[in-house]
Each structure stands twice: as structure tokens, then as C-alpha cells.
Structure 1
């Protein structure tokens, strides 16, 4: 390559080529250099590979064998299992030594052995941690902690055997918890990373909510768990009463809460939180039971103090809770605990009727913090606590409202038996008065007022006002019975409540609760008025007029107009009973309501009230029919009048289908009248149906030629011919079979004349059956001269002649068509 370069250089020195030639020469030289470089790199790679030692030959392994030799656990897992088993075995050995072999040593030997082993176990983690053997140090420290328990036991057996066991256990648990906490903090201080400042917790300065990693995880959580027992054991040892024992639970829970909030070590916080919830829940339930069963203000005050301690602990936890949702829940619990405590004091000081109002007042008082500068989660939790108390109070008062509404239904069986003395007597005919319910209206009114005043948010304002209106209605409704006001005052109050509810109904929103409340209170008022004849007539008349007037307001008609018709129907029945009329006579008065409803619907046209008015009017006719069931002639008259009303409705273009109902009513009226006249011939019942049906069918086929004869004439023909045929089979006279056969023959002839299938099939079938079974023998009895086969034969010849004539005409028509075809 150097010779080529030298030659090129010499040539270039003696001869300078043109630029194009020079560029070509340079490209050639560069390509030669690249080829030489690739050759040298390949040679180098071969030499490197040749200098490396060859790998040892290995037999090929099956994939299954390789998988079988794969480790089934990790090295740290094996280490932890071995350390755990070792710690457990050493602890068992120590227990066995202390319990079994203790008596073989003297006092000095015992103290020397246990002290030495305990100090060795507690001191061993220090060098182990320095060597980085953290897991081994954890196991040895666990053994040391167990040995301290054995030391405490041994000390009691040797030197303090005469002391109380529970008291010694309380002291020992407190000492052990302190020693273990100090031990854990000391290890944390000794093995603090370089450059990290010391702190009082031994955990180092960490951000809020961050967990801290200690050299040993076991001592501090174990100390917190042991700290749950000293106060409880002390209370049990001292024979403390229920209040002292509950106080021990709540103080322990407060300590756990403080630890959970202040210590940044995650494991310690978890153990403390479990203790706080467990001990706090147990203590709160015990304190609540003490408050509920307190026999006087003093006992209730002591229970309230305990509950307030629990509430203060809950509020402190909520104030420092890291998450808003958790803070709201804890504040909700604290608010409820406060209500239970303060309400218990009021309950023990007031009569039983004021128990619920007392608790409710405490719940409402919680709303005072809503306008303060407390954190939003706390204010929200207290507001929810107040809402829960109010909801429970309303549920407690609901049975009284139900009795006020449903209790008067019992007057339906005791109508006009005499007015009761008080409104409470009027609503408690079949149900007892709830105990301590005299203050229920006050509870409902207080909650209604709170909803109006406290709920200001725009998204909840309308719902709050609706609930307040409903509660106010329930308050006024239940007040006369709660105060045992006179019966007349109860009627007047319920009537005014109905009027007020209707007045509050918005015309643009016909389904608002006021309209429903008005209907409910009016219904209860109607039943309540059944105690007296005068009250019944007055109330029903007033309700009829009231709802009729309300129906004139836009939007209220679809509900108010039917209500007016219902009360008008009840008023008609009451007027008939007041005049001493028979039920069938009263039915005629009741029919005024359906007639008026039909006229009103005709005037309303396409209004939204039309259908409800028509349906209610039709339903009002049912009582009239029911009143005349025992009097067939009057029942027939009532059915006829109902048919007239239905026929009048069918005159309207959009109600033509009601004509079928009118026809059915007329037929029913005819049948009832015939039954009243003791008419037994089926034709008297079927012909009034057959003739209109055939007429309607004919009109229908004239308007629509696609309607088949079966749809037009089949039902009408079957209604008469089939029942008459069945009757003719058992008839011993000759007239019915003869007339039936003649009618069937006429039907066949008409069907043949107009080429209708239904008349041919129905009439022919009836004619054949009548002729085969009945007609021939009875015709022989009439003429007494003709053989029995003559009438059927004559009918057959007539049909054959008609058929032949019909066939001849068809043949002639075909011939004419063929001639005309050839002409074309």
C-alpha cells in the first residue's frame, strides 16, 4: 500500500491531473484503504478467539431437568425462616428452663443465669447490626424481649409471690412497654446513619406521613401493643366499677391516638391505630350503655364525661388525619358521641316524652360549628352527624303520622256510630297510641325549621324546602291527636291542612309534593268524618267543591278533577244513606257522576284532564252497578243508563270505540231485564246481539271491501244460531227446530246469493245438524202425512237445483267471455 501511495505522490509531483481525474484517483485510494482495514479487523477477531481457553464439554440437558434444579425459594426467604425457627426454639427453651428447671438453682444462680442470658440477647443485636446482619439481630432481639417477660414472671415467683397477680401484671406490662420502647429508641440512636440529626423519637426527622425505617422493627410495635394492658389490668385489680373500667379503655385509646398521630414509624402507627379503634370502640359503646341506663343526673353526667373524652379523642384524630375522607368520618363519629353524651344528661333530667327532643336539640346544636373556621372535613363531619340525628328523630316520629292517616280507616266499619271525644280517640280505633309520642309534632317542626334555615346551598335548597314542607304538613296533621284536642278541631285542622297544601301546589309543576300531600290529607279527612253523619256530608261536599276549584288551575286538573269526582261519588252514596233510600235508589243518584264526567270530558276536548276524567267517571259507574245487584229490574235500568252515557261519549269523533262498550251495556241490560221477566228462550238473549252485530258488519263491509265475511258476519250469526241449535236438541216441541231450520236455510240462501263464505258455512252446518237430529221427526208430527224423509229431501232438491242453476250461469258466462276473447 505504501508503494502505491509513493508512486501516486511522485506522479502527482511530476504531473498535476485535472480536477475530475484527481477526484477519481482519491476515491480509488479510499476504497483500497477500507478493504485493507476490514481484512485486518477480521484477522484480529480470529486471533482473540484462538487465544481463549476452550469451554469444558457438557452433556446436553433436558428442559425438564433444568427446571427441576431451579431453586424453589430465595435466599432471604430461607434466612428468615431459619432465624424465625431459631428464635422460637430458643424462646421455648427459655420458658422450659424457667418453669421446669428453675427450682434446681439457688437464688444467685437463678438471677445470674436469667440476667446473663437476657443481657446477652438484648446486647447481641448491636454487633450484629454493625456487621450488617439485620435479620439475625431481629431474631435475637425478639428472644431478648421474650426473656424480659420470663424475667418478670421469675421475679414474681421468687420475690413477690404474695402480691396480687393482676396488680403485678399491670405494673409489669407498664415496665415492659417502657423498657422495650427505650430499647428500640436506643438502638435507633446507636445506628443512626452518618450525618442524620438525632431526634426525640429515635426515628429521625421525616416528612409528614412518611414512614421511618428503624434498625429493628420489633421493639417499638411490641411496646405499643403491650401498653394496651396496664390500665385495664389495674382497673381489674382494683375492683373498679363500670365507669372506671370504661375510663381505662378510653384513656388507653387516647394514648394510642396520640402515638398514631405523632410517631412517624409506620409499623408503630398501624399498631396504635388498631388499638385506638379497638379500645375506643369498646369504651364508647360501654359509655353509651352507661348513659342510656343511667338512673339519675349524676350517673348520666359521669357517663357524659366519658363520652366527651371519647369525642375529644375523635376530634383530635380528625384534626390531624392525613386524608379528608378519613377526617370527615372520624368527625362524624365524634359528633354522634357528643350527642349521645349530652343527650343522656338531658334524658335523665326531663320526662320520658322529651327524650327524643333532647337528643335532637343536641344534634341541632352541632350545626353551630358549620359557620366557624374549623377545617372543612371537620365541619362536614359534624354537619353529617347532625343530619343523622335529625333523620333518626324523624323516623321515630313517623309512626304517629301513619296512625293519624290510616287510623281513621276503621270508621268505614263503624260509620255514623257517634263522634268521639278527642282527635286521639278518632285515630286510635284499631291501633294503640305509641308511647311517649306526644312530642313527635315538635320533633317534626324542629327538623323542618332546621332545613329551612341551615341548608343554603343552591343545589340542595329546593330539596330542603320540599322536605321542610312535607314535615310541616305532617306536624299540623299529627298535632290535634298529640294534644288530644276535640274531634271537631281535628276535622277542621285536617281540612285546613288540605286547603293549604293545595294552595302551595305550583300550577306549572302538577306533580309537586303539595298536591300529593293534599290528596293524602283529604283521604284521611274523609275517613275521619265517617264518625258522624253531619260531618260526613259536610266534609265530602267541601272536598268535592275544593278539588273542583283546584282543577281549574293550570296543571292541577289531571289529579284534582278525578279527586273531585271520587268525592262526589262518595257524597252521592252518603246522601242516599242520609235520606234512607234503598241501595238501588241511591244508584240512580250515583249515576249523576258518570254523566257529569262524560259532559265535562266532551267540553274539555284535547285537554290533559280528559282521559283522567273519563276513566274516573267510568269507575264511578261501578258503585252504581254494585248497589243494584240484588234488584235485577233496577240493575237493567242502571246498565241501560250507563249504555246511554257511553253512547253519548261515542258520538265524539275521537271516541268512536266507546260505542262497543255502549252496545255491550245495552245487551247486558236486555239480558238482565229478560232474566227478571223469567224469559228462558236463548233467542231472546241472542237476537239483541245478533241484529246489531250483523248491521255493523254490513256497514263495515260496505266501507271496506277487504273485510272478510267471517269478520263481518261470523260472530253475529254464531251468537244466535249456535245456542239455538244446542237448545233445539233438547226441545220436545216442534216450533223451535222448525224456525231454526228456516233461519239457517235463509242464511244459506243469502250467502249463496252474495257469494259469502261465512253465511254458507255457518248456516249450512246448522241446517244439516238441525235436519239430521231434530227437524224431520217434528215436521212429521205437524203434517202427520209426509214421511220423515220428505223435508230433508225437499231441502236437498232445492239446494241441488240452485247449485245446478248457478253452475249453468257460470258456464254461460265463460262461453260469453270466450266469444268476446275471439272477437278481440
Structure 2
């Protein structure tokens, strides 16, 4: 076909056919192409259908291939290590057991030859590229050198001291191993079997083992010469210093690991021993020697920090170095100065570390020394916690001895029968020193606000503990706390935000959320509580302290932006003052309750003037708490309890006049009702109507007024509660009453309510009154019904019940229609 097409095309190209002939040729070619395409499509369709018809199952998975559980290099290393260990064990057994069967020449020849062979074989193995094998053989050779040293001691130096010989042998072995390792690294590089070259550090064992052996000579020598504890400690620190230098200068990883482990281990032991020597020092000379050792450790740590490549390591070692310096100098001061100056001496040394910020040193080193100073200051403050705690919480014991008489001094006021901690004369000095440091260093620091807050708290604690520490007179201690309260409140009122870049708070609540005013206010509150507790020893002091605290907090709430906390605090102190006045006058609790009610009244008046101030809710809550206290105090005397409840209702009613406090009207009504019930109980009134009618009448009046203002209010909401309060208790009383007067009056009242509900089409009066009227009638007719039932035969009631059921079933449809009509009629009622 393609031949014919090609021939035709060539003929057309050479003979220039006419358009008709050319058109005929093109049509023929297109028909051939269509035929070929149809053939290929049909063949494709047949193949697809054949594949789907076969529907072959899933291709079977390839059989699992067993993988080797260990790689070839790992197997090689295990074999080499096992071989080296076995050869080493054999050499040890030969040296210890079979040594005596040979002469001196034979022993030296065998052991020397084996050692030389074991140490020389790695040279050839490295030239052939067998590094792992060379490593194993070299390990065997190094172990043999230890056996050589042991054999040499047993043969030639039998009279030498074992510890001294071990020190010398360790030094020699360390030197030999180091030279061996460096010598192998200096060999000319030869091509390995794989085409690689021998590295500069050909073997990994000799140099780390040499460094490990180098740890022992000085320590063993100190043991051999029976050196003192100070000398042994110095040896430990010198060894740690050498390891530190190697770790900082050597780049070989195995050697650096050994050096780091040695520096950390020996350094920790040396520092621990030096610290123990400093703590146990009994004189200046011993303390000076311990300080020298600690200074050596500090130099090592600071040098490491200076040269450390990583900031975290530099920070940690600088911190450690600073603490070591403080420990050494503090130990000297402890040995020279009295015991009470131990903490100030350490604190002074710690504060001296702050000068590091001006030293030309790396930044991590300076930060580490500053952190060390912070740690020392924190530990110094920790020693003051017992004294501050006793000064703050000690007066709580006076609650059991109110007005028992003035203590001997300010210390006796806080300790009473408890012991006072020893060596506390310098506690105020420590607190003041740290407070001054925070105030000075925090002026330009990013953490200015926390620093100022901490300084204010520590200054407050200094003044708090000062009277007890100095054993001032009791009155002087009270005056000091009073002045502290005044100053704290004044500073809290004048405080501003410690961050100048932030805008000043715009409202009183926002200002109080600032750290400094909030801290000052809280400290003032704590001071006032401490002052009141201290004043409980005598009656005049208690009254003066409570009155002073009340006035001060009221002034702070009025003249500053601290009212959210100051106003409630003033009311709380005023409440305590009224209780104290009542107790001072010898009043009974129920009479004191009437005096306490002046606080809720004042709180209500103040809240009226505050409008929408943030102080409104705290003031109202404090007044409510004082009202509850008054009710609790008067609960032992029912007549005065009724009066107290009524007065509380009057106060709450005054607050309920405001549109935003209308919900308090329910509380006022409840207080009035409760007061009336208590009064009725006092009068021994047992009729429930006397308790319910005072509630029903106002409730119905309020419901009527509400329905007049809002026509959508249902009768159940307006009149239901008021009617139920009287009808339900009276109904229960009528069912248990044998007289005719109460059922008659209740029936008349229920009939009246029912008629009024029907007249005005109100569901609640109609249903409640009708149900009550029906139950009252049933109660009155019950005896007659019982007589009739007793007179009838026993089969009459079942027969009547059956007839009733038949009648109900016969007129079921009519009853349903009547029920629907009644429901619609009730639905039309409001």
C-alpha cells in the first residue's frame, strides 16, 4: 500500500497532474488511512476485553530475602575485640601463673618479644590499610606494657613501695603510650587496599589511654608520701586543670572526651574537698588554705569560661567560678568574724561580683558572674525568711490572748512562747543591702519594674523586722508599723508605671493593675493586718490601730486611685472597729450587731456617690459582708435579730432605688419578710396566715402594678406567687384543723378569688381559687361521705364505679368536645 502511495506521489510530482487527478489521489490515501486506523482500534478493543476477561489474581509477592543481622564491619570489629581480649587474658595468665617455670632470661625474652611484636605489628598492618586489625593488636601491645611494668616490679623492684612504683609506672606508661600514638601518626602514609590513605592519627586507642594513665601519677604520688588533705585536694585540682587545658586545645574527639570526663570528675572531687575544708576550718590559717584551693578552682573555671567556644559552657563555668570565689572569701570571713556576720560577709563578696559588668571580658563570662552574684543574694535572702515569717505571723497567737496585757518588747510580741532564731542581728542589713542593689541596678536594666517591685518588698520587710530584731519597746514597735503603713500607702498612691515606654494607665482600675501601685497597696494591707494583730495585746492599742487603719485607707481611697482595694479595706477595718468598740463597752453580741450595721449603711451611702466607679461593687460586697456579720451576731437574740433584718432591708431598699440595682428589691423584700416572721415567732404566733399574709398582700400589689405597666405579663407571673404563698399553707392547716372557722374563712377567700378570676378572665386566680375551694369543700364533706360509704353494701361502690365508666365511655366523644371547649375558654383568659 505504501509502495503504491509513494509511486503515485512520485508520478504526480514528475508529471504535474491535473487538479482532478490530484484530488482523486488524496481521497484514496485518506481511505487507506481510515482503514488502517479502524483496524488498529478494533485490535486494541479485543486486547482490552481479553485482559479483563482473564481477571488475573494479585501478583504473588516476591519471596522474602534473608538479610544479614550484622554488617561486615561490625562482625569484623567484634572478632578483633574478642581476639585482643583473649590474647590479653592469655598474657595475664602466662605472667601470673606460668612465670615461675622459666628463667630470668626466658621471661624477659618471651615477654619482651611478644610486646615488641604486638607494638610493631600495627605498623605493617596500617601500611596495608588494615586499621581495625592494627587497632586490636595495638590494644594487646598496650596491655602487655602494663604486664611488663608489673613483671618488672616483681623481678627488679621488689622492695619498692607499691603506691610509689604505681605512680612512676603510670607516668612512664602514659609517656610511652603517647609517644607510640604520636609516632604511629607520624608514619609515612601508605595506600590502603581500598585506595585510601592512613590518617594523621592512625590509631584511636594509644592517645586516649595515655591521657587516662596520666590522671594517676600525681594522685598516687600524694598517697605514697602520705600527703595532707590540702595537698591531695591541690593534686585533684591540678589534674583537673591539666585535663581542662587538653580539652580546650586538642581537637581529637576521643582525647577530648577523656579530658572532659577527667576535668569534670577531678574538679568536682577537688571542689567538694576544698568546700569541706573551708566549712570545717577552725582558724584563719586553715580557712586561708581552703580559700587558696577554692581560688585555684575558681581560676580554672574562669579560664575555661574565658576560652570556652560555646556561650552556654562559658556561662556555666563563669557562674561556678564566681560561687567558688565567694565561698573561699566567705570561709575566711567566717573564721575571723563573729558568726552573725557570716551571711553579710558572703553577701558582700557576692555583691563584689557585680563589678564584673565593667570588666573587659566576653559577654557570657560577665553574665555568669552576675548570675553568681544573684545566686549569692538569693541564698542570703533565704536565711532571712525565718525572721520575716515570725515577725509577720507571730502575732497571730495573740488571738488567743486578746487584751491580755502589753508584752515586754516588740520581740516578745511576735514570739510569745516561741524561740527567736539565733544570730539575727544582721537580718535587716541583709534585706536592706539586697534592696539597695535591686534599686540601683534596676534603674537602667530591661527588668526595671521587677527590680523596683523587689526593692520595695525588701525595704518593707526590713522595716517590718527591725523592731523585733532591735527589741524595741512594744509601743515603739506599734508606732513603727503605723509609720510603715502610712509610708507604704503614700508611695503606692504616688507610684507610676515603671516602664516609661508604655502609656500611663487611663483609669483607676488600670492604674491599680500596674505592678508598683498594686504591690504597694498589697503591702499596705499586709502591714495593717500585722499592726492590728500586734495591737491585740491591749485594748487602747487595738482601738487606735483599727481607727488609724480605717482612716488611712479611707483617705487613700478618696485622694488616690487605689480605691478598688483601699475602700473595702477601710470598711473591713471599720467593721472590726465597731466589734472592738462593742467589746470594749461590754455589750452583748446582739447589741454590737446594731453598731456593726453602721458599716453597711455607710457602704450604701458611699456606693450611691460612686455611680459607675470600679469601687462600687467592692464597696457593696464589703457592706454586704458586714451586714451578714451583724445578722450572725444578733442571731442569739430573736427580737434583735428581727430588728437587724429589718434594718438590713431598709439599707438594701435604699440601694434598690437606683435603676441598675432594681434586682436588689427582691433581697429587700426577703429581708423584710424574714424579719416579720422572726417577730411573729417571738410573739409565739402559730397561725400560718400571720406569716403568709404579709407576703401575699405586697406581692399582689406589686403584681397589679406590673400588669398595669406591661400588658403582656401573665396572671401566673403577677398573682400566682402571692396567692400560692397564702392559699397553700392555709389549705394544709385547714385539712388538719378540727374547727370550722378556718375552713369557712379559707373557703370564702377561695370563692372570692375564683369569682375575681372569672370576672377578669385570669387563669391564676380562677384555677388556684377553684382548686382551693374544691379541696376545702371535699374536706368539709368528707365525714358525710364516709358515713354514706359505711351505710352502703360493699358491692355498691364497685357497681357505681362500673356505671360511671360505662357512662363515660358512652359519652366519650361528647366529653372530648367539652374538654376542648373548656381548654379554649381557659386559653382566652389572660
Normalising to structure 2: TM-score of the pair? 0.81
Give the C-alpha shift of residue 719 in structure 1: 2.3
The reply on whether 1:500 has 2:502 as its aligned counterpart is no
Match of 2:258?
271
Match of 1:67?
65
Structure 2 gap segments, 5+ residues each: 1-59, 192-197, 495-504, 506-510, 787-817, 826-830
Distance 2:69 2:662 in 1: 87
The reply on whether 1:657 has 2:663 as its aligned counterpart is yes
Match of 2:768?
762
Match of 1:453?
440
The reply on whether 1:180 has 2:182 as its aligned counterpart is no
Q: Are residues 705 and 485 of structure 1, via their aligned partners in 2, closer, same or farther at CA, if it must alter by over 3 Å? A: same
CA deviation string 1:262-293 (max 9, x = no partner): 22222211110111112111221222222223
Match of 1:602?
608
* 8 Å Cα contact 1:734/1:779 also seen in 2: no
What is the DSSP-based 3-state SS (H/G/I as helix, E as strand, rest coil) of the residue aligned with 2:384? helix
Give the C-alpha shift of residue 232 in structure 1: 3.0
State the aligned residue count. Answer: 709
The reply on whether 1:355 has 2:342 as its aligned counterpart is yes
Give the C-alpha shift of residue 430 in structure 1: 6.1
Of 545, 567, 572, which residue of structure 1 is paired with 2:551? Answer: 545
CA deviation string 1:102-133 (max 9, x = no partner): 12111221111111111111122222222222
Structure 1 gap segments, 5+ residues each: 1-61, 195-203, 205-211, 781-806, 815-824
Of 304, 307, 329, which residue of structure 2 is paired with 1:320? Answer: 307
Match of 1:463?
450
Q: Are residues 726 and 352 of structure 1, via their aligned partners in 2, closer, same or farther at CA, if it must alter by over 3 Å? A: farther
Distance 2:416 2:140 in 1: 76
Match of 1:588?
594
What is the DSSP-based 3-state SS (H/G/I as helix, E as strand, rest coil) of the residue aligned with 1:459? coil
Q: Are residues 537 and 225 of structure 1, via their aligned partners in 2, closer, same or farther at CA, if it must alter by over 3 Å? A: same
Match of 1:140?
137
Give the C-alpha shift of residue 543 in structure 1: 1.3
CA deviation string 1:316-373 (max 9, x = no partner): 1111100112101110111112111211221222222222222111111111221111
Match of 2:96?
99
Distance 1:778 1:502 in 2: 82
Distance 1:657 1:186 in 2: 98
Q: Are residues 734 and 157 of structure 1, via their aligned partners in 2, closer, same or farther at CA, if it must alter by over 3 Å? A: farther
Of 201, 217, 240, which residue of structure 2 is paired with 1:230? Answer: 217
Distance 2:353 2:780 in 1: 96
Match of 1:368?
355
Distance 1:681 1:722 in 2: 13
CA deviation string 1:50-82 (max 9, x = no partner): xxxxxxxxxxxx9756823x5554443333222
Of 107, 112, 118, which residue of structure 2 is paired with 1:121? Answer: 118
Moved more, 577-586 or 597-606: 577-586
Distance 1:294 1:716 in 2: 88
CA deviation string 1:126-150 (max 9, x = no partner): 2222222222211111111111111
What is the DSSP-based 3-state SS (H/G/I as helix, E as strand, rest coil) of the residue aligned with 1:305? helix
Distance 2:564 2:683 in 1: 44
Of 724, 731, 734, which residue of structure 1 is paired with 2:730? Answer: 724
CA deviation string 1:282-320 (max 9, x = no partner): 221222222223233332222222211111111111111
Moved more, 681-690 or 141-150: 681-690
CA deviation string 1:133-186 (max 9, x = no partner): 222211111111111111122222333344433333233222222221121122
Match of 2:286?
299
Normalising to structure 1: TM-score of the pair? 0.81
Moved more, 426-435 or 356-365: 426-435
Give the C-alpha shift of residue 702 in structure 1: 3.1
Task: Give 1:80-99 correspondences, 5 Å limit.
Answer: 80-99=77-96
* 8 Å Cα contact 2:493/2:560 also seen in 1: no
The reply on whether 1:684 has 2:690 as its aligned counterpart is yes
Distance 2:162 2:382 in 1: 50
Of 750, 758, 780, which residue of structure 2 is paired with 1:744? Answer: 750
Give the C-alpha shift of residue 467 in structure 1: 1.2
Distance 2:291 2:636 in 1: 71
Q: Are residues 609 and 177 of structure 1, via their aligned partners in 2, closer, same or farther at CA, if it must alter by over 3 Å? A: same
Match of 1:635?
641
Q: Are residues 192 and 355 of structure 1, via their aligned partners in 2, closer, same or farther at CA, if it must alter by over 3 Å? A: farther
* 8 Å Cα contact 1:745/1:764 also seen in 2: yes
Match of 2:393?
406
CA RMSD of aligned residues (A): 2.7
